[in-house]
C-alpha cells in the first residue's frame, strides 16, 4: 500500500461527517458544535534510523470506520477516520512491528475498535481500554482475554476533566486484580498534584506524553523536576516518550523537546516506552511519523538503551510473547 492509498482511506470515508449524519437521523436534531481535528500527515517519510526487530509503538489510535465503530455522542472532538488499514500502512512504512492501541475518547467505552484489531494482529497488538466502574467483572475479563493490558484516564479539561475520584479508585483496584496497569494523561504542570495519588496506586501506572512537559519552561521547571523525582523514586512509574511535538515551543523538527526526552530516558531506562501517537489528535503542529522515528537516536544514542525503550520494556509491561 502506498502513501496515496493511505491518504484515500484517511479522508475518503469522511468519518466525522458520516457519524454526524447518523446522529441527526436518529435524534432528529442537529448535534452540538464539536471541533474537528486535523488528519495525520499522509506522506510519512521512510526513516533514516532503522528500528530494531520487534520495536513497539506503545501509543497509537484507530478512529473508525464510523459505519462499524460509531463515535460516542458525547465525544470531545470529531476525528477524520484513521482505520486499521491506514494504521497498518503507516507502521509498515516506518518499520514498526508491534503496537499498543490506546482507545481514544471519541469511542467512549466501546472498545471494539481496539479488540477487533488485536484479534487480527497475530499477537502483534495489545490495547489500552476506556472503562467505567459500571462495567461488570465479566466485561473486564472479556477485555483482558481480548488483549487489553490497561485502562486510561485523561485528566484534561478538554476531554472531560478529573471526574469522580471515588469511581476512579474503585475501578483502579478492580483492574489491578486482573494484572492491568493504569495509563494517565495530565494537564501541563499538574503531575506534582497527582503524585500522592499515583504513589498510592495498587498497580503500575504509565504517564502519557512525558507528563505534558513544556519545553519553553526549561529543564529546571519545577513541574519537570517533580516528574523526574516521581519517575526515579516510584518503581511503579513508567513514562511514555511521546508527544515531543506537544512539548515543543519551536515547532518542527521539535529539537527543543529532545533534552527532556533524554533526561527521562536516562533517569529510569527500564521504565520508559516509545510511541508515535498516530494519528496525532489535537496537536498544534502535525508531525511526520518518519521524522518522529529519526528523533529516537538523538535522545537515546546508546543502542542498549534503545533496545530497552523500543523492544524490551514494552514486551515486559504489555506482556508480549
98-102 and 148-155 strand pairing: unpaired
pLDDT tens readout for residues 129-144: 999 989 999 999 999 9
Alpha-carbon dihedral 187, 127, 65, 82, rounded to 10 degrees: 60
The rounded distance, in Å, linking the Cα atoms of 207 and 210 is 7
CB 182, CB 151: distance < 8 Å: yes
* Cα distance between residue 100 and residue 91, in whole Å: 12
Give the single-character DSSP code of 203: S
- pLDDT mean over 209-223: 98
Q: Across the strands, what pairs with 181?
A: 150
Q: What is this structure's pTM?
A: 0.89
What's the count of helices (H) and strands (E) in the chain, helices before strands?
A: 13, 8
Q: Are 41 and 276 in contact (CB under 8 A)?
A: no
72-121: per-residue pLDDT in tens? Answer: 988 989 999 999 999 999 999 999 999 999 999 899 999 999 999 999 99
DSSP state of 137: H
Is 277 a known active-site residue?
yes
d(CA 6, CA 82): 9
Look over the chain and give the mean of its residue pLDDT values, rounded to a whole number: 90
- Say which residues have a Cβ less than 8 Å from residue 59's Cβ, sequence separation at least 6: 100, 102, 208, 209, 240, 242, 273, 275, 276, 277
Q: Nearest-5° angle of CA 67, CA 73, CA 76?
A: 110
Q: Which one of 277, 294, 302, 312 is the catalytic residue? A: 277
C-alpha cell at 298: 538523538
- The span from the CA of 45 to the CA of 60, in Å, is 18
Q: Is 26 a residue whose pLDDT tops 60?
A: no
Amino acid at each position: 500500500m502506498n502513501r496515496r492509498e493511505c491518504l484515500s482511506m484517511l479522508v475518503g470515508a469522511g468519518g466525522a461527517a458520516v457519524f454526524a449524519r447518523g446522529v441527526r437521523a436518529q435524534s432528529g436534531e442537529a448535534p452540538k458544535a464539536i471541533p474537528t481535528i486535523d488528519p495525520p500527515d499522509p506522506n510519512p517519510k521512510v526513516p533514516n534510523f532503522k528500528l530494531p526487530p520487534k520495536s513497539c509503538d506503545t501509543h497509537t489510535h484507530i478512529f473508525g470506520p464510523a459505519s462499524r465503530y460509531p463515535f460516542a455522542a458525547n465525544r470531545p472532538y470529531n476525528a477524520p477516520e484513521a482505520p486499521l488499514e491506514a494504521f497498518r500502512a503507516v507502521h509498515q512504512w516506518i518499520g514498526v512491528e508491534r503496537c499498543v492501541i490506546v482507545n481514544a475518547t471519541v469511542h467512549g467505552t466501546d472498545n471494539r475498535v481496539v479488540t477487533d484489531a488485536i484479534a487480527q494482529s497475530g499477537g502483534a497488538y495489545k490495547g489500552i481500554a476506556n472503562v467505567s466502574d459500571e462495567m461488570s467483572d465479566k466485561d473486564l475479563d472479556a477485555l483482558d482475554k481480548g488483549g487489553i493490558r490497561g485502562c486510561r484516564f485523561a485528566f484534561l479539561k478538554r476531554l472531560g476533566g478529573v471526574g469522580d475520584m471515588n469511581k476512579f479508585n474503585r475501578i483502579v483496584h478492580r483492574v489491578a486484580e486482573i494484572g492491568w496497569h493504569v495509563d494517565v494523561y495530565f494537564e501541563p504542570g499538574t503531575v506534582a498534584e497527582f503524585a500522592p495519588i499515583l504513589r498510592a496506586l495498587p498497580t503500575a501506572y504509565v504517564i502519557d506524553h512525558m507528563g505534558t512537559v513544556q519545553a519553553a519552561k526549561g529543564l529546571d521547571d519545577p513541574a519537570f523536576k517533580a516528574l523526574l523525582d516521581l519517575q526515579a523514586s516510584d518503581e511503579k512509574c513508567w513514562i511514555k516518550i511521546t508527544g515531543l511535538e506537544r512539548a515543543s515551543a519551536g515547532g518542527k523538527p521539535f529539537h527543543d523537546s529532545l533534552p527532556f526526552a533524554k533526561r527521562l530516558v536516562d533517569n529510569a531506562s527500564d521504565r520508559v516506552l516509545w510511541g508515535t501517537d498516530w494519528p496525532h489528535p489535537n496537536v498544534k503542529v502535525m508531525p511526520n511519523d518518519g521524522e518522529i522515528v529519526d528523533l529516537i537516536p538523538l535522545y537515546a544514542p546508546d543502542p542498549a538503551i534503545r533496545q530497552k525503550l523500543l523492544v524490551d520494556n514494552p514486551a515486559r509491561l504489555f506482556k508480549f510473547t
